[in-house]
Amino acid sequence: MERRKFISKSVLVAMTGAIGVEIVYGLKLPETYIPLALQNPNPFELFKKDKEMVLLNERPWNMEAQAHLLDDRITPNKYMFIRNNGLVPENINAENWSLTIKGESVLKEKTYTLAELKSKFKHYTYQLTLECGGNGRSEFNPPAKGNQWNVGAVSCAEWTGVRMRDVLEDIGIKNDAVYIGYHAIDLHLSRDPNKTPISRGAPMSKVLQDETLLAFQMNGADIPLVHGYPLRLVAGGWPASVSGKWLEGISVRNKVHDGAKMTGTAYRVPCNTVAPGEKVADKDMCIIESMPVKSLITYPKTGAMITDGEKLNIRGHAWAGELEVAKMEYSIDFGATWKTCSLEKPVNRLAWQHFNAQITFPKKGYYEIWSRATDSKGTAQPMLIPGWNPKGYLNNACQRIAIKVT
Amino acid sequence: MNSNYKEPKVNKSNRKRLIIWFFVPLVILISTGFYLLLETDFFTVNIKEETLVDENNIDDFDKIENGIHVQTGFVDAPGLLETVRNCTSCHSSQLVLQNRMNKERWTATIKWMQETQNLWDLGENEAIIVNYLATNYPPKETGRRKNLDTIDWYVLEE
C-alpha cells in the first residue's frame, strides 16, 4: 500500500508539541494516520462551538448563532459567530509574534514583539459589540451575494488589550495620517501567497478612540485561534471586518486604506439609496462606518407556547454602533402599538445593552413579538427590510419571535 | 521548523494532513489542560493500533442520492460535473448553495472571482455552469418581509 507512508520526524515533533506528551512509537505512524487528539474534522469541536450554532460555510469557515443562543450578557466563545474571508492560519508561534507599524504617515517604521506590546502599554478591558456588516443578509430581495446570515452574526465579548492610540503615540504619526490598514497572516482561499484575503481598516477618528484596542485576550483568556489569536484589532460598533484577526502589521496611511475588501463593493453601500436590484457603479458605493441601531430578543426562543393568563418575560440586547440605545420597545400586535421595555445603560461605550419586559396577552392566539430599539439620535429600527443594497449589508429590521397562547 | 511544509491540496486524504497543521496552534492552547486532566497513556494506547484512514470515501465521490450529489449537496442536473470541478476547489459548495441569482448575476460573480480571486478561465464550461446555477438556484421573490417559518413549537415552562 503506497499510502502507508510513515510521517517525517519534523511533523512528529510538531504533533508532539501540540499534544504536550511524547508520542511513543511515533515514527512508526503511517503518514495518513492522525492521533485521536488531533483527529477532528468537526468544526463545532474544532472551535469549541455549541452544537446549535449554524454552519454556513466550511471553506472558509463561517458560522453563526441563533437568537436564543446569545442570551448571555457577555458572549462566550461557544456562541460567538465565525466570519472568515480566508483560511485560518495553520501554525502560529505567539512567542515569536510581532507587529510592525509602517506606512506613509508614521515617523519611523517600528516593530513590537507581542511581549513588548503587553509590557510597555497599559491594558484596558471593554465589552465591545462586533457585528458582521452582512448580518441579516438572508432577508434581502433580490437576494444579495455572499454568506446568507440570519440574525446571529453579532457578539459582545469582553476584550482586553492595549489602546491603538497609545501605540501610535509611542511611534509618532504625521499630521497627514487619515486611515490605518491592518495586515494579517491568514491565507487566501486560492492558496496564492501573493493574495490577501482581507486587509481593512478605519479612519483615524475611530482608531484614536479609547475603546479601539490591539487585543490579546477575549473573556479573560487568550483569544481563540479562529477569533484572531494571538493579536486582533477590535473596533466595536463598526462592521466586524474592521476588527482584523491574526495581525502582524498596521499601516498608517495618508489616504483611505486600499487593501483587500476596502475597495469596489466590499463593505460598502450605495452613497444614495437605490431601488431593489438596481445596478450601482463602484464610484457610487460608500464605505460602511458605524453599524445601525438593532436589537435581539434572546429569551424566549421563538416557538414558545404558553397558557392563557400566563405572563411572559422577555429579554435581550440592543446596540447602536457608535451611539447608545435610548429606548427599547416591543409590540405584540404587528407594530400597531408599542410598549416600553426596561433598558440598562451600557457597561461601557460600544457594549450592547440589556432589556427586559413582562408581557400580558389579551387572549388566546398566534402572536409575534417584535422588538424595536431607538438610538440616541432618535433613529429606530425599521419593521420591514431597510434600503436594498447590492451586497446585502446593514439589515437592522426589527426581530420577530413567534408565540402561541393556548 | 516548517520550512519544508507544503500546502496540502484539499482532497480527502490531504485534508487529514491539513487538519494536523490547522490543529497545531489550537491544540497547543488546550493541550496543557488536557495533559493535566488525562492519564499520559491516553495517547499512546490509541497510536499503537496504527489504524489506517478509511479510504472508502474516495469511491463515494460520484454518489447521487435522491437527486443530490452527496459529496457537495448540489442538485443532480446537467452541468453538475463542470460545476463541482470548477466551483469547489477554493471555497466550499455551501457558499454556492446559499445563493440565488439569475444568469446575469451568476455570470457577474464568476467575472468578479476571475478578476479578484484567482478563478481561472472557464472556457466553454462557463455557459454550462451559469446555465446549471441559474436553472437550479434562481432567485425567488420574497417580498419586503417573509412570514416567520420553520418554527419548532415547544411548551415554555418557567
Domain range spanning residue B30?
Answer: 1-53
Residue B158 lies in a domain: no
The answer to whether A249 and A101 are in contact (CB under 8 A) is yes
Q: Inspect the interface and report whether the beta carbons of A36 and B101 lie closer than 8 Å.
A: no
Q: Inspect the interface and report whether the beta carbons of B44 and A145 lie closer than 8 Å.
A: no
Chain A hits for B29, CB-CB cut-off 8 Å, are: 222, 224-225, 229
**Taking CB atoms and an 8 Å cut-off, how many pairs form between chains A and B?**
194
Using one digit for the tens of pLDDT, what is the confidence trace for A173-190? 999 999 999 999 999 999
Chain B hits for A275, CB-CB cut-off 8 Å, are: none
Q: Are B90 and B37 found together in one domain?
A: no
Cell of A283: 464610484
Cell of A89: 492560519
Tell me, what's the pLDDT at B150? 85
Q: Are B67 and B132 found together in one domain?
A: yes
Average pLDDT score over residue span A300-315? 97
CATH of the domain at B105: 1.10.760.10
Residue B156 lies in a domain: no
Residue B141 lies in a domain: no
Tell me, what's the pLDDT at A91? 85
Q: Are B67 and B21 found together in one domain?
A: no
> Can you give the length of chain B in residues?
158
Task: Give the one of A37, A147, A401 whose C-beta lies nearest to B43's C-beta.
Answer: A37
Task: Give the one of A189, A303, A400 whose C-beta lies nearest to B91's C-beta.
Answer: A189
Among B141, B139, B133, residue whose Cα is nearest residue B96: B133
For an interface test with A, the pick among B9, B10, B84, B95 (most A C-beta atoms closer than 10 Å) comes out as B95
Q: Inspect the interface and report whether the beta carbons of B23 and A402 lie closer than 8 Å.
A: no
Q: Are B81 and B45 found together in one domain?
A: no
Chain A hits for B147, CB-CB cut-off 8 Å, are: none
Q: Inspect the interface and report whether the beta carbons of A29 and B141 lie closer than 8 Å.
A: no
A146: left (phi over 0), alpha (psi -120 to 50) or beta: left
Tell me, what's the pLDDT at B30? 53
Q: Inspect the interface and report whether the beta carbons of A141 and B16 lie closer than 8 Å.
A: no
Q: Are B36 and B71 found together in one domain?
A: no
Residue B155 lies in a domain: no
User: Can you give the pTM of this predicted structure?
Assistant: 0.82
- What are the CA-CA distances from residue A330 to residues A229, A327, A383, B93 (Å)? 39, 10, 11, 39
Give the gap in angstroms from C-alpha B96 to the nearest C-alpha of chain A.
8
Residue B36 lies in a domain: yes
Q: Are B112 and B82 found together in one domain?
A: yes
Strand partners, A342: A356
Tell me, what's the pLDDT at B59? 58
pLDDT at A230 over 80: yes
Q: Are B68 and B127 found together in one domain?
A: yes
Walk me through the domains of chain A, giving residue ranges and CATH numbers. Answer: 1-39 (no CATH), 77-287 (3.90.420.10), 294-405 (2.60.40.650)
Q: Inspect the interface and report whether the beta carbons of B43 and A189 lie closer than 8 Å.
A: no
H runs (alpha helix) in A197-322: 204-207
Which amino acid belongs to residue A237? G
Tell me, what's the pLDDT at B141? 87
What rounded mean pLDDT belongs to chain A? 91
Q: Inspect the interface and report whether the beta carbons of A141 and B43 lie closer than 8 Å.
A: no
pLDDT at A8 over 50: no
Which H or E run contains A168?
A: helix A164-171
Chain B hits for A59, CB-CB cut-off 8 Å, are: 10, 90-92, 95
Tell me, what's the pLDDT at A105? 98
Q: Inspect the interface and report whether the beta carbons of A404 and B44 lie closer than 8 Å.
A: no
Using one digit for the tens of pLDDT, what is the confidence trace for A103-152? 999 999 999 999 999 999 999 999 999 999 999 999 999 999 999 999 99
Task: Give the one of A32, A192, A305 whose C-beta lies nearest to B154's C-beta.
Answer: A305
Phi, psi of A27 (to 5 degrees): -70, -5
pLDDT at A84 over 50: yes
Give the gap in angstroms from C-alpha B136 to the nearest C-alpha of chain A.
15
Using one digit for the tens of pLDDT, what is the confidence trace for A340-396? 999 999 999 999 999 999 999 999 999 999 999 999 999 999 999 999 999 999 999
Tell me, what's the pLDDT at B149? 86
Residue B94 CB coordination number (10 Å): 19
Alpha carbon distance A63, A56 (integer Å): 5
Q: Are B127 and B67 found together in one domain?
A: yes
Which residue in chain A is spatially nearest to B8 when comparing CA positions?
Answer: A191
Confidence of residue B26 (pLDDT cuts 50, 70, 90): low
Tell me, what's the pLDDT at B57? 52
∠ Cα B71 B72 B78 (to 5°): 105
**Percentage of residues in chain A with pLDDT exceeding 90?**
88
Using one digit for the tens of pLDDT, what is the confidence trace for A29-50? 444 434 444 444 789 999 999 9
HSE of A236, CA atoms in CB hemisphere, 13 A: 29
Q: Inspect the interface and report whether the beta carbons of A3 and B23 lie closer than 8 Å.
A: no
Task: Give the one of A60, A141, A397 whose C-beta lies nearest to B143's C-beta.
Answer: A141
Cell of A273: 439609496
Q: Are B77 and B110 found together in one domain?
A: yes
Q: Inspect the interface and report whether the beta carbons of B19 and A139 lie closer than 8 Å.
A: no
Cell of A336: 400597531
Alpha carbon distance B132, B83 (integer Å): 8
Q: Inspect the interface and report whether the beta carbons of A57 and B98 lie closer than 8 Å.
A: yes
Residue B71 lies in a domain: yes
Tell me, what's the pLDDT at A20? 39
Name the domain count of chain B.
2
Give the lowest-confidence range in A143-152, A318-327, A355-364, B26-35.
B26-35
What would the DSSP string read from start to end of A63-111?
EE--GGGGGSSS--GGG--EE-SSBPPS---GGG-EEEEESTTBSS-EE
Q: Are B44 and B76 found together in one domain?
A: no
Residue B43 lies in a domain: yes
Complex-level ipTM: 0.84
The answer to whether A316 and A73 are in contact (CB under 8 A) is no
Q: Inspect the interface and report whether the beta carbons of A10 and B40 lie closer than 8 Å.
A: no
Chain B hits for A195, CB-CB cut-off 8 Å, are: 117-118
B100 touches chain A (CB under 8 A): yes
Strand partners, A340: A329
Average pLDDT score over residue span B119-142? 95
pLDDT at A93 over 80: yes
Listed by number, the residues of chain B in 105-144 with a beta carbon closer than 8 Å to a beta carbon of chain A are: 105, 109, 116-118, 139-144
Q: Are B131 and B75 found together in one domain?
A: yes
Among A186, A188, A160, A380, residue whose Cα is nearest residue A292: A380
Residue A227 CB coordination number (10 Å): 25
Q: Are B96 and B132 found together in one domain?
A: yes
- What are the CA-CA distances from residue B115 to residues A146, B89, B120 (Å)? 17, 17, 9
Q: Inspect the interface and report whether the beta carbons of A19 and B31 lie closer than 8 Å.
A: yes
Q: Among B14, B32, B53, identify where a domain stops.
A: B53
Confidence of residue B21 (pLDDT cuts 50, 70, 90): low
Which residue in chain A is spatially nearest to B138 when comparing CA positions?
Answer: A143
Cell of A210: 479609547
Confidence of residue A289 (pLDDT cuts 50, 70, 90): very high
**For residue B45, what is the DSSP state?**
H
Tell me, what's the pLDDT at A301? 98
Residue B87 lies in a domain: yes
